[in-house]
Structure 1
Amino acid sequence: MDIERRERAAHFVELHREGCFLVPNAWEAGSARILEEVGAADSWSAAPTCG
């Protein structure tokens, strides 16, 4: 791996070290039910509240 690529990889890792979040995105009814059971909102229903 060349130096530039290593630096870019290290920068990417640093950007994601803290403060990450997960956006749930159910693709079918089964996973949608599971997400609903754990209290997750899908991105479509959450979008209006985020502006």
Structure 2
Amino acid sequence: MKRSKRKTVWAYLDGKKLVDVVQAALDNHMMVDEVKALLIRENPGHEVTFKVQ
């Protein structure tokens, strides 16, 4: 049985790696979408992007 690598979602602030969104959601008992919205709301004037890796 071949096991695939686990993927996670990284948040980037102005192109620099900021935080593992999945781990932050688990640590704070939140949904991934809630953490994404929170990051966007807390960083006005910055470009927040998300990538699955």
Q: Could you say which structure has the higher helix fraction? A: 1
User: What TM-score comes out, normalization by structure 1 length?
Assistant: 0.28
Q: Could you say which structure has the higher strand fraction? A: 2
* Greater C-alpha radius of gyration: 1
